[in-house]
Structure 1
């Protein structure tokens, strides 16, 4: 099957959407599909173009057997408001001719990754031009999040943006997203339930695993051998609510046995550092290279997953999968009824968003109870192995892909190779219908 993946983020970005898109593409390529990707040069989460890449030039490369086209991109120093829109628009504009040219390749599936929805119209158009299956995968609802978090304002702008988003989503043959609550939101936006697929993020439970020893990063970050490490690792953006974690660090400054590590980059890092960066119980670090990821996850005695209340069910934090896989306990901020609460509560500790005192108390409780930390860690890893493993999630995704596209791809191949397809192409309803013999149950 020919699969065109179209999204702004891609490896070697170490976290978030780029990591998952790259692993998905590489897995599909390894299983015999022909995969092409149109993306931007790496920039996330540092918000600067990665070393060895250019923001101004088009470039082609091959990564893990996947052919990549990288297109120019403007990266703002502070990615907020209008500047963030221009950032996303720069990729949508520069990638447009490259994506349109892929229509001559005649892909069977065009898969757009959101964010950003700004490039979705071009992806949909290419799918229609070559009679391919149009698939959009939503990692977070960027429009909802932008207005609920105050990144963008204005009632007219909001109504317009939401109308455009709804119109686009309803035109795609398949809409997938990473959580069941986010699937419900897609239905609320008018997407036919028959077009929805649950495609969660995953954990590489082989690459991220308990070390059985102290992480080597303790020495790098000047952390004592007996200290309890509270780790936040990932993007430092508005929706993370990191100011609550900073306030908890201030409250626990006199606990000499507890050290907070803030690992990552993003637009609010400077503000968080101004609050607690000089405290004796805090350490700040840039993201570690990929080969140190397991050391980083094992640096934690306690993982913390802060999140603002108004971001609930707009995103499902991708970092959670690695936290569980590391066999370390997780403290998350979520309200009952949200999917984050339902995932973490049976095997972790959940507190209300925005409550720094409750967070400090939870950290103290776990710091003082090694047996509870070990038990929650074991439960989290068991969940990761059973439900979140890379093989399990991508296996189900491959089933969903074949269930929705098989006749479309088969007909095109026969037309290209022999001139007459077994099933007339014009009778195929964009690959949604599946014969009983090919039916596969999907989530």
Structure 2
């Protein structure tokens, strides 16, 4: 089967959606499929052209996958004008690129606007396009603080794009319910396939060395990894670290990664001894960073419930460490942490509660171990890469078969 994957994020980006899109492409190649990818300039999470990409397009082969990169505007995070321009310019670049007659197209959202262009081209060219939904735009716009008007417009756009697609692939059952109940997509057109643990523990650097390198002789280390943006509301962790300073706590908080809010967070955290900023790491150091931590953190803006399931959770769970989740008790994130039995869920935006809960983990070794063991067991049973690749490959094959059947009838 000839599969075309279109998504603005791909390797060498090491966080967010890119590792999943990259692994999916390579996993489908391993199943014997011919996979082409159209992607953008490496830019996330720095939101900059950090590889100094030049020219309008570039082609390369990465681990058996034919990759075409198209130039586009680079936004600044959020859903402002620069982000819209990024999605429009990438979407147009991908839509006018050679598709080489794929049997099926998998378009990754984000980017939603760009995906709309691909769905339109697919309908005009009679190529089935399925949308792989990693984040929900309409919910995100409302939950991050956008206006109701903006949220309604995005909901209408998201609904139109997903209903026009040949199929919709979502990463969580909460997403499926929203796509069907609120966006009006037919239930039979929606498939749920969770993201998976993409960190190879066996390739990790030495955890002890990584801990000493970044945290010295700190007695208790709690880290948050990944994007530093509006959804994460990492001011909460900075303020918890400030409290740790004031109270002489043993906890040192680490913020690992990059993003649109990093500079502001560094300024907010200036002079706090119990706070360490760590740059984006390669796979070996990242895996070691997760292993060397005592507690892993997921932190969300108060009011965030439906728009995203943090991709970091799949990497967290496989480590066998307790996870403290500062999120709404009825959020998609809390559902996932609760299903994994990975750790306590606390009120978002409450730095005192965050510090107290992390300290409690240090004093409850048996409970912390139980949380970690449960999380790892959940990852091993439910977050297998191989099963995800098989499920998505079968879903795409079904869409391709429907298209072939329709084409045959039209020719008769």
TM-score by length of 1: 0.86
Match in the other structure for 1:433: none
331, 348, 351: which one aligns with 1:338 = 331
- 2:228 maps to 1:236: yes
- 2:88 maps to 1:94: no
- 2:357 maps to 1:357: no
- List runs of 5+ in structure 2 lacking aligned partners: none
CA contact 2:321–2:375 (8 Å) conserved in 1: yes
- CA positional deviation for 1:333: 2.1
Partner SS state of residue 3, structure 1? strand
**CA displacement 1:65-102 (0-9 Å, x = unmatched):** 1111101122245656222222222212333321xx31
**Matches of 1:322 and 1:208, distance apart in 2:** 10
- CA positional deviation for 1:131: 2.6
**Matches of 2:408 and 2:368, distance apart in 1:** 59
CA contact 2:6–2:94 (8 Å) conserved in 1: no
**Matches of 2:293 and 2:9, distance apart in 1:** 27
**CA displacement 1:360-411 (0-9 Å, x = unmatched):** 11111002222222221111111101101211222222232334433545x6
Match in the other structure for 2:410: 426
1:209/1:184 CA distance change after superposition, 3 Å: farther
Partner SS state of residue 300, structure 2? coil
**Matches of 1:403 and 1:92, distance apart in 2:** 26
Match in the other structure for 1:25: 25
301, 316, 319: which one aligns with 1:323 = 316
**Matches of 2:124 and 2:244, distance apart in 1:** 59
Partner SS state of residue 347, structure 1? coil
1:329/1:190 CA distance change after superposition, 3 Å: same
- CA positional deviation for 1:275: 2.4
**Matches of 1:121 and 1:143, distance apart in 2:** 14
1:402/1:92 CA distance change after superposition, 3 Å: closer
Match in the other structure for 2:137: 142
- CA positional deviation for 1:427: 8.8
**Matches of 1:285 and 1:21, distance apart in 2:** 25
**Matches of 1:285 and 1:92, distance apart in 2:** 33
230, 234, 238: which one aligns with 1:246 = 238
Within a 5 Å distance, the mapping from 1:36-435 to structure 2 comes to 36-51=36-51, 53-54=53-54, 56-76=55-75, 81-98=80-97, 101-102=98-99, 105-150=100-145, 152-153=146-147, 155=149, 157-187=150-180, 188-204=182-198, 207-208=200-201, 214-224=207-217, 227-253=219-245, 254-345=247-338, 346-406=341-401, 408=403, 424-426=408-410
Partner SS state of residue 231, structure 2? helix
**Matches of 1:68 and 1:30, distance apart in 2:** 16
**Matches of 1:267 and 1:194, distance apart in 2:** 38
After alignment, is 158-167 or 228-237 more displaced? 158-167
Match in the other structure for 1:4: 4
* Paired residues, number: 408
- CA positional deviation for 1:290: 2.3
**CA displacement 1:28-59 (0-9 Å, x = unmatched):** 011111111111021101111232533x4310
After alignment, is 107-116 or 213-222 more displaced? 213-222
After alignment, is 86-95 or 236-245 more displaced? 86-95
1:299/1:169 CA distance change after superposition, 3 Å: same
TM-score by length of 2: 0.92
CA contact 2:302–2:328 (8 Å) conserved in 1: yes
CA contact 2:8–2:39 (8 Å) conserved in 1: yes
After alignment, is 250-259 or 228-237 more displaced? 250-259
- CA positional deviation for 1:322: 0.4
**Matches of 1:306 and 1:427, distance apart in 2:** 55
**Matches of 1:24 and 1:219, distance apart in 2:** 34
**Matches of 2:299 and 2:202, distance apart in 1:** 23
RMSD between aligned residues: 2.4
1:352/1:127 CA distance change after superposition, 3 Å: same
CA contact 2:323–2:344 (8 Å) conserved in 1: yes
**Matches of 2:175 and 2:187, distance apart in 1:** 12
CA contact 2:337–2:343 (8 Å) conserved in 1: yes
Q: Highest CA radius of gyration, 1 or 2? A: 1
Match in the other structure for 1:435: none
CA contact 1:203–1:388 (8 Å) conserved in 2: yes
